[in-house]
Amino acid sequence: MSAWRLTLMVAALVLLSGESLAKPYMPESDGVVLERLPEKGDPSLAQLKRMRVALMMSPRNLNIAVPVARRAIAAGRRLGDPRFFGQAQAALAPWWSAADVPPVALLLRATLKQSQHDFEGSLADLDRLLAAEPALAQARLTRATVLGVRGRYADARRDCQQLNGHVAPVVVAGCEATPASLSGNAAGAYGALVQLLAQGDGNPDVREWALTLAAEIAARRGDFTAAERHFQDALALDPEDAYLRGAYADFLLDRARPRELLPLLRNATRNDALLLRLVLAEQRLPDARESFSAHRQELAARFDAARRRGDSMHRREEARFRLAVEHDAPAALMLARDNWAVQREPSDLRILIEAARAAGNASALKLASDWVDATHLEDVAIAALMQVRP
């Protein structure tokens, strides 16, 4: 059993018992399955495990550390399991705090910081890397993504434009689509992206990424038929993509189709963000009360465990949980405001508005309103929220 899983189990016992300390769980026999490790059914993860063993024998070997970090970051993003980010950071340990870092390690360090929501740390590394190697496309694309998450849309678009001639046109269009669609040009960004997608070219992973972007933009514009089509096309390419499943789950929740989430997410409960969506769906289904109760307790335990270890990566998800499931508007608003200080995507703005309205907080509502006015954000769900009287 991993230490991470054990932490969650102990936190769950504390919540259920109401005691400040709880006895560790002891299985009744050696045959009790505590957790099924993902490596057992995934050859790529099994290979990662073997690569980590090799790295332990030569921890400062960059030629071993880089592939380990890359594969661990990819696994963490695909599965939504933070343990893999820890493995990536461990692989980069000799270069994590160093000033003189090889470019390949610096890029991976920046990428991992992005995954850990250390956006300013990521930007510092990327600025340094691009000052030395301005034509490094992956670094520029990563910086554009981080700038977009921080709400610096003009800066993000400048980086995207610098990608012309260095990457496929659909990558350039996808890079520009998010900041452009969030700063007053949703129709143009969507049209350019869909036009390139219609050509049918490109790597399947890139195509799935672009289709997901198109689906999200279409949903924000209120074109739900197109959004559904794009989501389905993306899922046909990679039904296991954690981000894609979360985005589609939110779309289904907004469309009052919670039952369709059950087969989509039932086997994805390892991922905190996907477990949240499953809880929100089960909450709306009278015949899912038993599983809702169990999943609700598990998710509460995970958030409690994250707080104990100082992990603030899922403040947005916890804010949604506190508001929609626990009905604790003040706690939700505190989390939403803290999250907004770090990342400023539409989903971050939406939970800020919802929590502010539930808590009757005028200053938070003005913060949201000022952002919409300043960025010319086009999002039908947020527009509807802003029109509701507090």
One digit per residue, the tens of pLDDT, for the chain of length 390 reads 333 233 222 222 222 233 332 333 344 444 433 344 455 557 778 888 888 888 888 889 999 999 999 999 888 877 777 788 889 999 999 999 988 899 999 999 999 999 888 999 999 999 999 999 999 999 999 999 999 999 999 999 999 999 999 999 999 999 999 999 999 999 999 999 999 999 987 789 999 999 999 999 999 999 999 999 999 999 999 998 999 999 999 999 999 999 999 999 988 998 999 999 999 999 999 999 999 999 999 999 999 998 888 887 889 999 999 999 999 999 999 999 999 999 999 999 999 999 999 999 999 999 999 999 999 999 999 999 998 765
Give the model's pLDDT for residue 55: 86
What does the alpha-carbon distance between residue 21 and residue 142 come to, in Å, rounded to a whole number?
A: 43
What does the alpha-carbon distance between residue 154 and residue 161 come to, in Å, rounded to a whole number?
A: 11
Give the model's pLDDT for residue 202: 75
What is the identity of the amino acid at 179?
Answer: P
What does the alpha-carbon distance between residue 144 and residue 157 come to, in Å, rounded to a whole number?
A: 7
Whole-model pTM: value is 0.84
Structure-token pair, residue 267: 């086997």
What does the alpha-carbon distance between residue 294 and residue 299 come to, in Å, rounded to a whole number?
A: 9
Nearest CA among 54, 50, 76 for reference residue 63: 54
What does the alpha-carbon distance between residue 191 and residue 188 come to, in Å, rounded to a whole number?
A: 5
Tell me the H-state helices in 97-152.
103-115, 119-132, 137-149
Nearest CA among 315, 328, 275, 331 for reference residue 298: 275
Instruction: Establish how many alpha carbons lie within 13 A of residue 147's alpha carbon, considering only the half-sphere containing its beta carbon.
Output: 22
Per-residue b or e along 66-105, where b marks 16 or more CB atoms closer than 10 Å to that residue's CB: bbbbbbbbebbbbbbbbbbbbbbbbbbeebeeeeebeebb
> Are 184 and 376 spatial neighbours (Cβ–Cβ below 8 Å)?
yes
What does the alpha-carbon distance between residue 351 and residue 337 come to, in Å, rounded to a whole number?
A: 9
Q: In a 10 Å sphere around its CB, with 0-12 CB exposed, 13-18 middle and 19+ buried, how is residue 296 labelled?
A: middle
What does the alpha-carbon distance between residue 93 and residue 112 come to, in Å, rounded to a whole number?
A: 12
What does the alpha-carbon distance between residue 258 and residue 37 come to, in Å, rounded to a whole number?
A: 29
Which long-range CB contacts under 8 A does 118-124 form with residues at least 24 apart? 119/146, 119/149, 119/150, 119/342, 119/343, 122/146, 123/147, 123/150
Residue 214: CB atoms within 10 A of its CB come to 27
What does the alpha-carbon distance between residue 231 and residue 39 come to, in Å, rounded to a whole number?
A: 28
> Are 281 and 261 spatial neighbours (Cβ–Cβ below 8 Å)?
yes
Consecutive H or E run containing 300: helix 289-308
3-class SS of residue 51: helix
Q: For residue 132, what are the CA distances in angstroms to 36, 46, 139?
A: 44, 36, 11
What does the alpha-carbon distance between residue 325 and residue 290 come to, in Å, rounded to a whole number?
A: 15
Consecutive H or E run containing 245: helix 242-254
What does the alpha-carbon distance between residue 350 and residue 361 come to, in Å, rounded to a whole number?
A: 14
